């Protein structure tokens, strides 16, 4: 797994084994840098644990291979096949001894599993935060679009009233009435300043 910084507040987490790439967003560049440092620390710890586990496995398998090679090199005789009474007893005693448990390997595996679970939880949290930010961005975009439509409608109404005032088809009182009516609507204040400006310019 690798983590790459793509911008000041965004990075990519790539998992080559799962053939997956995740996009992660952070509230600040400091948080992104801190996450990258922790990611590298846990990755290095997992690598060292894996190497130690492999070394333990190699040390465990080497003596058995050497003993097998020694048996092949020894000549085949009745004593070597059946064994004497003196030789049989130590063999039974030696085989009956319990082998030491690979506690170090178990601890390394447990540590690696704990690291994986920790990063899975971190990834789930980041995915949830990204989903919330995406929803908030979509909502803001929709609101901006609605406000632009309302502003265009108010500007169109102001232009229509302006033409009526110029042609003399509307009095000053009738011109001001729509302005007060706009105050009762959502976003009406956005167009009042435009209408008042038109009124002052023409009267």
Between 74 and 105, name the one with better pLDDT.
105
Handedness of CA 117, 122, 124, 125 (dihedral sign): positive
Residue 14 host element (H or E) = strand 10-15
Q: What pLDDT, on a 0 to 100 scale, did the predictor assign at position 26?
A: 82
pLDDT tens digits for range 72-90? 455 555 555 555 555 455 4
Residue 109 pLDDT grade (very low, low, confident, very high; cuts 50, 70, 90): low
Angle made by CA atoms 83, 84, 90, in degrees to the nearest 5: 85
Q: Quote the CA–CA distance of 163 and 180 in Å, as a whole number.
A: 19
Residue 199: strand, helix, or coil: helix
pLDDT tens digits for range 132-186? 888 888 888 888 888 888 888 888 888 888 787 777 665 555 555 555 555 445 4
- The full set of domain ranges for the chain reads 2-100, 143-202
Asked whether the beta carbons of 25 and 49 are under 8 A apart, the reply is no
Angle made by CA atoms 132, 133, 138, in degrees to the nearest 5: 100
Asked whether the beta carbons of 54 and 102 are under 8 A apart, the reply is no
CA distances from 158 to 35, 62, 162, 166, 174 (A): 54, 92, 6, 12, 13
Domain 2-100 in this protein, CATH class: mainly beta
Q: What pLDDT, on a 0 to 100 scale, did the predictor assign at position 170?
A: 57
Q: What pLDDT, on a 0 to 100 scale, did the predictor assign at position 191?
A: 54
DSSP state at residue 15: E
Handedness of CA 121, 122, 123, 128 (dihedral sign): positive
Around Cβ 158, how many Cβ atoms within 10 Å?
21
Q: What pLDDT, on a 0 to 100 scale, did the predictor assign at position 186?
A: 47
Q: Mean of the pLDDT values across residues 31-37?
A: 86
Residue 16: half-sphere exposure toward Cβ, Cα within 13 Å: 3
Q: Mean of the per-residue pLDDT values for the chain?
A: 71
DSSP state at residue 101: P
Q: What pLDDT, on a 0 to 100 scale, did the predictor assign at position 92?
A: 45
Tell me the helix, strand and coil percentages in the chain, rounded to 5: 75, 10, 15
Q: Which of 152, 153, 168 is nearest to 202 (CA)?
A: 168
């Amino acid at each position: 797994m690798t983590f790459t910084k793509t911008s000041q507040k965004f990075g990519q987490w790539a998992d080559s084994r799962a053939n997956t790439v995740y996009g992660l967003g952070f509230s600040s560049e400091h948080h992104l840098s801190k996450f990258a440092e922790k990611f590298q620390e846990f990755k290095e710890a997992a690598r060292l644990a894996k190497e130690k586990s492999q070394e333990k496995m190699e040390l465990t398998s080497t003596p058995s291979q050497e003993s097998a090679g020694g048996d092949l090199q020894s000549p085949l005789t009745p004593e070597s096949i059946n064994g004497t009474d003196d030789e049989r007893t130590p063999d039974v005693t030696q085989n009956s001894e319990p082998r030491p448990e690979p506690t170090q390997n178990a601890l390394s595996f447990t540590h690696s599993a704990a690291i994986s679970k920790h990063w899975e939880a971190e990834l789930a949290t980041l995915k949830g935060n990204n989903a919330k930010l995406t929803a908030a961005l979509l909502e803001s975009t929709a609101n901006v679009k609605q406000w632009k439509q309302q502003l265009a409608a108010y500007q169109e109404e102001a232009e229509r009233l302006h033409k009526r005032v110029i042609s003399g088809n509307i009095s000053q009182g009738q011109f001001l009435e729509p302005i007060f009516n706009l105050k009762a609507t959502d976003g009406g204040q956005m167009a009042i300043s435009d209408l008042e400006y038109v009124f002052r310019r023409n009267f």
